[in-house]
């Protein structure tokens, strides 16, 4: 049997994937395996409980959870697992993700969710934080993360250009 990937990448809906795929792309760039799943706190509550209560035993070490609107998914997962949970507020149509952000960030003391920025930058940074956590115990990954950051730095031009890209 194949080992469970260390990162679970969960989202409340298929409609979250265009945002959350940026986390997936970042994990791919760092050669970190992940399992992507749809788990809705409201539409699939039993799936939520099953996933959250078994996540650690299943072998996951970090959870990235993205949701929009009444975004209870990351907080409810955090309520049921001791694993680190990074929450990504997906940009909602009605309120541009302000609702998502506030739903995720205002956790009560004692049940943490590391809350990222709304949308694509949040998804990318959730993956990078997951990588940082895993790199604490994986020197090869730490090297890949260093290389990622070096490449990012080197890609910033010194001077602005009129060329569009």
Binding residues for substrate: 13, 16, 43
Closer Cβ to ligand RP5, 30 or 40, answer by number:
40
- Residue 122 contacts ligand RP5 per CB under 6 A: no
Q: Are strands 114-115 and 85-90 parallel, antiparallel or unpaired?
A: parallel
For 98-151, the DSSP string reads HHHHHHHH-PPTTS--EE--SSHHHHHHHHHHHHHHHHTT-HHHHHHHHHHHHH
Q: How many residues bind ligand RP5 (CB under 6 A)?
A: 10
- Residue 77 contacts ligand RP5 per CB under 6 A: no
What's the closest the beta carbon of residue 6 comes to ligand RP5, in angstroms? 23
Distance of alpha carbon 14 from alpha carbon 131, whole angstroms: 24
Which of 15, 53, 54, 96 touches ligand RP5 by CB under 6 A? Answer: 15
Which of 8, 26, 64, 68 touches ligand RP5 by CB under 6 A? Answer: 68
DSSP conformation class of 11: E
DSSP run (H or E) holding 58: helix 45-58
DSSP run (H or E) holding 76: helix 73-80
Which of 5, 7, 9, 13 touches ligand RP5 by CB under 6 A? Answer: 13
Closer Cβ to ligand RP5, 127 or 133, answer by number:
127
- Residue 69 contacts ligand RP5 per CB under 6 A: yes
Distance of alpha carbon 87 from alpha carbon 123, whole angstroms: 9
Residues that bind ligand RP5 (CB under 6 A): 12-13, 15-16, 40, 42, 67-69, 90
């Amino acid at each position: 049997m194949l080992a469970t990937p260390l990162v679970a990448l969960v989202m409340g809906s298929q409609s979250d994937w265009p945002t959350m795929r940026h986390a997936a792309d970042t994990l791919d760039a760092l050669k970190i395996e992940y399992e992507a799943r749809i788990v809705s706190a409201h539409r699939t509550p039993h799936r939520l409980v099953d996933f959250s209560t078994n996540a650690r035993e299943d072998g996951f070490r970090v959870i990235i959870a993205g949701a929009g609107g009444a975004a209870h998914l990351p907080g409810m997962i955090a309520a049921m697992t001791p694993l680190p949970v990074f929450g990504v507020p997906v940009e909602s149509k009605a309120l541009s993700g302000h609702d998502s952000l506030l739903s995720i960030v205002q956790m009560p003391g004692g049940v943490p969710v590391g809350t990222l920025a709304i949308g694509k930058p949040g998804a990318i940074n959730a993956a990078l934080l997951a990588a940082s956590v895993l790199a604490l115990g994986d020197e090869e990954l730490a090297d890949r993360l260093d290389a990622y950051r070096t490449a990012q730095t080197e890609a910033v031009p010194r001077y602005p250009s009129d060329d569009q890209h």
